[in-house]
């Protein structure tokens, strides 16, 4: 899985590409947890390049959200396409996260908090 990374206003934005499923979720999880261990406290996951996500990917978001919260950090999600958004919604996951349409909007929401 390809994962792009960028930094804006003290927030690190991580943009995985392709599918997030049983095969790729562990790669994404390692990438995100490495950022956390390196001291990153404001993380955005940008779904613009993600085709779809299965519960393996939802579990990664759950783990990351809990660990960031315990470290007084913030997690933001953005740019979900229909397929990704529907799975978050079916699982009742949308209310658990800060979600915005664009990366700029979600960065703004968590950068100032």
65 touches another protein (CB under 8 A) = yes
Output 28-32 pairs: Cβ under 8 A, ≥24 positions apart: 28/1, 28/3, 28/57, 28/60, 29/60, 29/63, 29/64, 31/3, 32/60, 32/64
Residue choice 17, 54, 98, 108 for contact with another protein (CB under 8 A):
54
48 touches another protein (CB under 8 A) = no
Q: How many residues bind another protein (CB under 8 A)?
A: 25
| Cα–Cα separations (whole angstroms), residue 97 to 2, 23, 85, 100, 111 | 23, 24, 12, 10, 15
**Least Å distance between CB 104 and another protein?**
25
Q: Which two tokens stand for residue 85?
A: 């958004």
Segment 69 to 98, residues that bind another protein, using CB under 8 A: 69, 82-83, 86-87, 90-93, 96
Q: Footprint of another protein on this chain (CB under 8 A)?
A: 19, 21-23, 51-56, 58-59, 62, 65-66, 69, 82-83, 86-87, 90-93, 96
């Amino acid at each position: 899985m390809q994962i792009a990374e960028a930094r804006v206003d003290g927030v690190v934005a991580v943009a995985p590409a392709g599918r997030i499923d049983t095969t790729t979720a562990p790669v994404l999880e390692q990438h995100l947890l490495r950022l956390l261990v390196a001291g990153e406290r404001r993380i955005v996951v940008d779904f613009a390049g993600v085709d779809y996500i299965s519960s393996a990917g939802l579990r990664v978001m759950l783990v990351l959200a809990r660990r960031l919260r315990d470290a007084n950090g913030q997690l933001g999600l953005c740019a979900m396409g229909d397929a990704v958004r529907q799975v978050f919604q079916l699982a009742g996951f949308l209310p658990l996260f800060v979600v915005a349409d664009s990366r700029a909007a979600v960065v703004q929401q968590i950068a100032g908090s």
